[in-house]
Amino acid sequence: MTLPLEVENLTFGYNGRPVLQGVSFRLMPGEVLGLIGPNGAGKSTLIRLAAGLLRPLEGMVRLFGRAPQDWPPRALARQAALVPQGAYIPPTFTVWESALLGRTPYLGFLGVPRERDRQATWRALERVGIAHLADRFIGQLSGGERQRVVLARALAQEPRCLLLDEPTTHLDIHHQVAILSLIRRMALEDGIGVLIVLHDLNLASTFADRLALLVDGRLIALGDPRDVLRSDRLLAIYGSGITVFPRPDDGGRPVVLPRYWDEAVCLTE
């Protein structure tokens, strides 16, 4: 069986400065794998490598058994969808037009959408709760609504692997919970493999099946949130301004709370 995503001994750098070193993990069908780590740890670079936007220096990335560069572009876009951080959509596009772009890898010559494409797009808009905005212009939306348009576009691609880079940063807590619950349910029901970068450790702890902790380009922990988000480990990485509690209501999944830290300085590398 081919897995949605396999990463083996992955190494990457920009101009000789290493960004990722020897990263290995596998993403299973139906699994939500949360990618966490401090700023500059290499999370977005890892997502971009997985999507085939960058080529590894060493090691390999396999999407459903093949390196992304070995897939024909359209076929790859039917397998894997990417939600990049801060994705730009021109303000003059409508929500409907923007989401319909997710059907690009299915359209024939001249790009005329069929009924099937419209239905998949509409369903994606409904799922992320913005179908009522379909004829609005992107320029008229809030940051959170815009973020959901990009997610709807990715869902309209009907992928078997979702690569999400901070898809909920601009959302209020209701929509964060709603979107991440939707993603988790889709993963489980449709067997989609989801690799998701989350800055918020509590969201990661709550919605991911497993977590991968990336620090300075190295994968230093991989597994159940209870094991990865250990107090001593997080204090060493993020400093003493946090407290980690096991949640009483969710099987002891950890929550991370900030606290006042009188010796705080911004860490430099």
Partner 1 sequence: MGSSTVPQALRFPSARRRTPFLIAAAAGLLLVGTLGMAWGAVSIPPFTVARIIGANLGGSGVADWPAAWETILFQIRLPRVILGGLVGLTLAVAGAVYQALFRNPLAEPYLIGVSSGASFGATLAIVLVWRFGVGGWNGVSLAAFVGALLATAAVYGLARVGGRTPITTLILAGVALNAILSAATVFLMYMMRDAFQAMHVLGWLMGSLALADWEKVRVVFLYVLGGLVVIGGYAHTLNVLQLDEEQAQSLGVAVERTKGILIVAVSLATAAAVSVSGVVGFVGLIVPHIVRLLWGPDHRFLLPMSGLIGAATLILADSAARTVFAPRELPLGVVTAVVGAPFFLYLLRRQKREVF
Which residue lies nearer to partner 1 by CB, 112 or 173?
112
Decide if residue 51 touches partner 1 (CB under 8 A): yes
Q: Is 60 in the site for partner 1 (CB under 8 A)?
A: no
- Name the segment binding partner 1 (CB under 8 A); options: 113-121, 172-180, 212-220, 240-248: 113-121
Residue among 8 and 97 whose Cβ is closer to partner 1: 97
- Give Cα separations from 29 to 18, 93, 206, 237 (angstroms): 30, 34, 19, 30
Q: Is 67 left (phi over 0), alpha (psi -120 to 50) or beta?
A: beta
State the Cα–Cα distance between residues 97 and 107, nearest whole angstrom.
Answer: 14
Of the candidates 51, 54, 69, the residue with the CA atom closest to the CA atom of residue 12: 54
Residue 129 CB, nearest distance to partner 1 (Å)? 11
Show contacts with partner 1 in window 134-153 (CB under 8 A).
Answer: 134-135, 137, 139
Stretch that binds partner 1, among 8-16, 27-35, 112-120, 252-260 (CB under 8 A): 112-120
Q: Could you give the CA distance from residue 161 to residue 236 in angstroms, rounded to a whole number?
A: 33
CB count in 10 Å sphere of residue 53: 13
Q: Does 119 bind partner 1 (CB under 8 A)?
A: yes
Strands 32-36 and 58-63: unpaired
Q: Output the smallest distance, CB 125 to partner 1, in A.
A: 9
Judged by CB under 8 A, the stretch of 12-20, 75-83, 170-178, 224-232 that binds partner 1 is: 75-83
Burial classification of residue 107, based on how many CB atoms lie within 10 Å of its CB (0-12 exposed, 13-18 middle, 19 or more buried): middle
Residues 6+ away with beta carbon under 8 Å from 70: none
Instruction: Candidates 37, 84, 167, 254: give the one binding partner 1 (CB under 8 A).
Output: 84
Smallest gap from residue 89 Cβ to partner 1 (A): 6
CB of 82 to partner 1, least distance (A): 4
Helix 115-127 vs helix 143-156: crossing angle, to nearest 10: 140
Q: Kindly list the residues in this chain that would bind partner 1 in the complex (CB under 8 A).
A: 48, 51-53, 73-78, 80-82, 84, 87-93, 96-97, 101-102, 104-105, 107, 109-112, 118-119, 121-123, 126, 131, 134-135, 137, 139, 157
